[in-house]
Amino acid sequence: MERESLWQELRASLLASMENGGWPFVGVQGHPDLADRAQREGLSLWEPPFVDDPAGVAPLDAIEPRQKALESGFRAGAASLWVTAGMAGLDSSSDFLWQAQCLRWSIRPPFRRGQGVALVGGSGCGKSTLAKKLGGRLGLPVQDVDEVIALHAGKSIPRIFSEDGEAAFRRLETEATCRAFQSPAVLALGGGAWESEAIREAARASGYAVLWIAEHPGRVWDRVARDPGRPLAQERKAFMDRWRSRMPRWSEAAMVLPLGRSASRLAETLALHLVSP
């Protein structure tokens, strides 16, 4: 009964966080069965969401001293940060998260010099702006795939959706994105692009580094809500549901937490950790 009570408390906390646009992260140290249960119900982001697997995630609030724990985790191969639902909403944690992220990049650079970079994530998370800033620092051409699609189709993305339907848009998106992977560049992919197996395969074959811009979905909704240029950002619940359904695929890529930093700051920090081929 005690464990069932703990589960219900955890589940309620996560669902409340998600309803408010927060992160559906599991933070159950020492209770892998509860973490697995949350995973089955779609309440967690990474598998496994506990520290026992060094190739999984690095904890932020489970082991002291934190700096040493994070460094050990990153050197062992951890690619992601584990944040509990409660800690994710604390402004006071932002600086620590940023420092941890920079530490990860210094130990495991996000990409090599000259390597193409693809940015994935939800509509409105800042991919296009970051791509322009990052392309300038890397000396690589920049392509916003949505802009390429609109140019090729001779009409805007909203018109493609309204006149031809989402399925037609997805076909155009797959064709344009796969072409873009043929030479090194900084690419801003559409919010749903990473759901396509053909696009993921093209990315793997191209040798591109793929970065997930893991912006807070509630913050993104406040930014793009009912933007006429974003046909899939017209209703909050549908927007949040779509975001959550796509997170498992996005989480396959290396994560970049903006944490309130500007696109210029993110690009500068990412470029700072470049290594030669």
For residue 23, the model assigns a pLDDT of 45
Domain boundary among 107, 134, 152: 107
Digit-by-digit pLDDT tens for the chain (277 residues) are 455 665 666 566 555 555 555 444 444 444 555 556 655 665 543 333 333 333 333 444 433 345 665 666 566 665 555 544 444 444 455 676 677 788 888 888 889 888 999 999 988 889 999 999 999 999 999 999 999 999 999 999 989 999 999 999 999 999 999 999 999 999 999 989 999 999 999 999 999 999 999 887 878 888 877 777 777 667 788 888 888 788 878 878 888 888 889 999 999 999 998 765 5
Nearest to 23 by CA among 192, 211, 212, 216: 216
The vertex-182 CA angle with 178 and 188, nearest 5°, equals 60
> CA–CA separation, 44 vs 35, rounded Å?
8
Angle of helix 145-153 relative to helix 166-180, nearest 10 degrees, comes to: 120
Domain-embedded: residue 82: yes
Same domain, 76 and 122: no
Instruction: Tell me if residue 254 falls in helix, strand or coil.
Output: strand
Domain-embedded: residue 75: yes
Same domain, 148 and 267: yes
> CA–CA separation, 251 vs 81, rounded Å?
11
Query: b/e per residue, 133-161, with b = 16+ CB within 10 A?
Result: bbbeebebebbbbbebbbeebeeebeebe
For residue 93, the model assigns a pLDDT of 56
For residue 226, the model assigns a pLDDT of 72
Domain-embedded: residue 83: yes
> CA–CA separation, 183 vs 233, rounded Å?
31
> CA–CA separation, 124 vs 221, rounded Å?
8
Residues 3 and 34 sit within 8 Å (Cβ to Cβ): yes
> CA–CA separation, 198 vs 268, rounded Å?
31
Residue 80: its H or E element: strand 80-82
Domain that holds residue 91: 2-107
CATH at 201: 3.40.50.300
For residue 274, the model assigns a pLDDT of 76
Domain count for the chain, please give it.
Answer: 2
> CA–CA separation, 213 vs 194, rounded Å?
12
Domain boundary among 41, 75, 107: 107
Same domain, 130 and 69: no
Same domain, 71 and 202: no
For residue 231, the model assigns a pLDDT of 72
Same domain, 69 and 94: yes
